[in-house]
Amino acid sequence: MFKTAVTDLFGIKYPIVGGTMMWISTPEFVSAISNAGGLGILASAIYQSRETFAEAVERTKALTREPFAVNLNLFPMMRPIDNNEYLDVLIDKGVRIVETSGHSAPGDLCARFKKAGLVWIHKCVGVRYALKVQEMGADAITVVGYENGGATGRLDIGTMVLIPRVAESLKVPVIGGGGISDGKGFLATLALGAQGVIIGTRLLATREAPIHDNLKTALVGATELDTMLIMRSIGATHRVWANAAAKKCAELEASQAALPQILTIVAGEKAREMYEGGDIDLGVISCGQGVGLIHDIPTVKELFERIIREAEQALDCIRRF
């Protein structure tokens, strides 16, 4: 059940995509998602050089025989990356699926995607942007509603409206998300017109997620009220878990602090230290409102099987109405 254009396009068992997460979407975690029947996406921006990135791709290939994708990050970064070099690696290593995300479409890359025969997913925030990348040749479009963790974009449109608006406007498959943590959310996303579902926050509380157990336990104990928006003052709005670091960032923004001060709080290295060391207030972590639906820490495989089972049960209940 739930075979869609997305499962056909990517060659996966379930129409579930694991959201790309900085410092978290490593070869081990990506392969766990793919081995569980979804599409794992390797975060290329984690890697400092073409060589270390190539090693990560090889590591992923060694850990799974199932399809996986690589994300090329188009957002402004403290350490700029030459995505053309990383694309060379994808083509050389035989990776078949590429995801792009950022403030603008990758005009300088999409011709190379097509020439290499890659399946190209682009993640964007609304209809206008989705239509643009469809015209550029994107094979699938990902959109996530305002409930999502991480970058929320500038439109502030919820999942219930955004997904059907994009789906009715496009000819290519849509992957939708924003607050999806269980089978009911999965089924609702498909009912809204998406051909696949992207999940991020819920995957943080899985056994394979490469974050400290302290943080996983804290997320299990969080509610839908325990997220907040930060970095809007610098044009990079993110929804994050409302820990001490996030609240400090909000205080700095309210006092009109300079960008360097804000960056000392939200720097990726602080988050990485938090993931590894377990100090849950050291950095910020992207977190959607769906965190309120997290109640345990299963394996990724157990989670996906549960989501599909719950979706089938919910569909049966609807049919009996």
| pLDDT at position 78 | 54
Assigned token pair, 98: 């590429």
* Between 288 and 269, residue with greater pLDDT: 288
* pLDDT of 295 over the 70 cut: yes
The arithmetic mean of pLDDT across residues 107-127, rounded, is 93
Q: Mean of the pLDDT values across residues 12-24?
A: 97
Q: Is the pLDDT of residue 221 over 80?
A: yes
Please report how the helices 83-93 and 50-63 are oriented relative to each other, as an axis angle in degrees rounded to 10.
Answer: 30
- The torsion angles phi and psi of 223, rounded to 5 degrees, stand at -120, 175
Distances (CA, A) of 32 to 51, 57, 62: 23, 14, 12
Domain chopping of the chain, boundaries: 5-211
Give the up-direction half-sphere exposure of residue 317: CA atoms within 13 A in the CB hemisphere.
Answer: 9
Q: Is the pLDDT of residue 290 over 60?
A: yes
H or E element at residue 242: none
pLDDT one-digit tens code per residue, 70-91: 999 887 655 667 899 999 999 9
* DSSP letter assigned to residue 141: E
Position 113 pLDDT exceeds 70 = yes
For the chain, first and last CA: distance in Å? 21
pLDDT at position 267: 85
The pLDDT, as a whole number, for residue 81 is 76
Q: What percent of the chain has pLDDT over 70?
A: 98
Q: Inter-axis angle of helices 268-277 and 259-266, to 10 degrees?
A: 20
pTM, two decimal places:
0.96
Mean pLDDT, the chain, integer: 95
Q: What is the pLDDT of residue 75?
A: 72
Instruction: Reduce the DSSP state of residue 167 to 3 states and report it.
Output: helix
Query: Looking at per-residue confidence, does 190 or 319 come out higher?
Result: 190
How many angstroms separate the CA atoms of 110 and 83, rounded? 12
Per the DSSP assignment, residues forming a β-bridge with 144 are 177
Q: Cβ-count burial of 103 within 10 angstroms (0-12 exposed, 13-18 middle, 19+ buried)?
A: middle
**For 197-202, what is the mean pLDDT?**
98
Asked if the model's pLDDT at residue 105 lies above 90, the reply is no
**The predicted structure's pLDDT at residue 102:** 79
Most confident stretch, 95-104, 125-134, 166-175, 260-269: 166-175
Is 304 in contact with 16 (CB distance < 8 Å)? yes
Q: Which CATH class is domain 5-211?
A: alpha beta
Angle 127-136/159-169 helices, nearest 10 degrees? 30
Mean pLDDT of 198-210: 98
pLDDT 10s digits, 29-71: 999 999 999 999 999 999 989 999 999 999 999 999 999 999 9
**Distance in angstroms (rounded) separating the CA atoms of residues 18 and 69:** 10
Mean pLDDT score, 219-227: 98
Q: Provide the 8-state DSSP code for 234.
A: G
What is the per-residue pLDDT for 241?
A: 98
Of all residues in the chain, what percent carry a pLDDT higher than 90? Answer: 87
Residues 229 and 152 sit within 8 Å (Cβ to Cβ): yes
